[in-house]
Each structure stands twice: as C-alpha cells, then as structure tokens.
Amino acid sequence: MDSSTLGITRCGNKEFKWGERTYIMGVINVTPDSFSGDGLSYDIEAAIALSRRFAAEGADILDIGGESTRPGANPVPVEEELRRVIPVIERLAGELPLPLSIDTYKWEVARRALSSGARMINDIWGLKHDPRLAELAAEWRAPIILMSNQRDTSCQDIIPEVLSSLRKSMTLAGELGVAWENIIVDPGIGFGKTLEQNLEVVCRLDELRSLGRPILIGTSRKSMIGLVLDLPPDERLEGTAATVAISIAKGADMVRVHDVAQMARVCRMSDAIVRGRCPPKD
C-alpha cells in the first residue's frame, strides 16, 4: 500500500499527512534507568530544555515516558510513573506547540496524561496489557500507537507473528471505538526479538504495509545496533542513521529517535530519494 493512501491523522493541533514526508518523534525519558543513557529522572527543567531543543531541531511530536522498557527493568508503580511524567506534560502542553505522546501501558497514567495535555498514547503492549487504553483513545479522539511485543511469547517466524499480533491489536482497537485513521502500528524492535529477528523486521518492514496503517519504528540506539557494531548506546549514532534510512526506504512513516537534529537530516535526505521530496529552491 502506498503511504499516500493512508490519509490524515489529527493529533492535537497537528495533522500527520502520511506519505508527504517522514515524521520525527523525539524521545523524552523521565526515568533514572533508560537503556540509552538519556534518562532525566525527576529533573523537570532538564526535560523541558531537551524538549525545547528537540522542537527547534525538527521534532514533530514528543514521546514522554516514565518507565524504562529495557529488558529486565523493574516495573514502576502507577503513582511513581505519574510523579515523573505529569509535571513535564503539564509544562510542555503550555509552552510548546508540538503535540505530546504518553509512552505507557497503564490506563491511569494514560488518563491523567491526556487530561494534562498529551494527545497520543504509545502502548508497547498493543492493548494486551490493558485494552481500556483503546477506550481512552476513542474518548479523547487521540491517536494510539499499537506495538507488537514478543516478550511474552516465543516465535520462530517473526514477520507473520508481528503481522498477526498487530492485526489483533487493530481489531480490538476498532471494536473499542478507535477511529481507523487514529491507529498507528509499530513492529516493536527490541521487544522480545532476537538480533536476527530485529534485523529481519527492518529488512522486511514493507510487508507491514498490508495492514493499511502508518508505520512507526524505533531503532534508535537499540541493542541490535550495539550487537552488530559492538558499541555502547551513546556511540550508536551512525548505526541508528543506517536503520532509519533503510526503514524509510521500506515504508516507515514516523521514526522515534533520541538524536533529533541528526535524524532529521537523515529523514530529509531519505525523503528526497524515496518520496521525491526535495527542499524548495531559492
């Protein structure tokens, strides 16, 4: 399916016109234990400063998360997650024009985040943990990102598993009232997949086009890059750039990244090649 047939998703005061260009989601980790080394914990001013920087560097949306999703991370109680994310969302909603996404799989966190100014839900469990997130998205007419997460399963053939998982999540979202245009899918790089499976997902990302919805992908600083290049998270910029460019060529519509300025350049160059989108001449 051509991206131009995916229509428009409205998120707060912004429209995502799928197919025109690749959109950039900047990662704001309000956690002390982020895998990527960028966790800001309770430092609200640091989170605000980073968000302003990302906005200036070309981010289209910011994803605020208060619980690390790295393998082996301890779950965070709801009240603790709220203490981390709500003050940041409240400040940003009043100061920046960019829409905000809440990165959570917990109903109460999502509810409070939407009430505080977030306008998108990013659910790493694709409604498997709490289907009520879809009801919230429907109530607020907010887009929801549904991820395929293999941490609770074991699979040998990864692409059929990802497609099946996402179809189930999409069907459930629709049954609970989420508008078709408000569904975004994410194959879940790094979530319960082997290195080989992660590489295969990126290589075969275009097969997710059969789902008929825009594709978000988050490869930024992920362990698959570290395993291939034998580098720590803070040295995975070039590896991230390679995965972002290839993902765009394979059909990604939005990329979730930690290094906005650099990946914005990668997206512009990739879009010029893949979408024929060149900057206007003077």
Residues with catalytic annotation? 222, 256
Q: How crowded is residue 47: how many other Cβ atoms within 10 Å of its Cβ?
A: 24
Q: Is there a contact between 184 and 254 (Cβ–Cβ < 8 Å)? A: yes
Q: How many alpha carbons fall within 13 Å on the CB side of residue 3?
A: 24
Distance CA 183, CA 14 (A): 16
Tell me the C-alpha distance between 172 and 264, whole Å. Answer: 33
Single out the residue of 228, 233, 217, 199 nearest to residue 270, CA to CA. Answer: 217
Rounded Cα–Cα distance for residues 27 and 254 (Å): 13
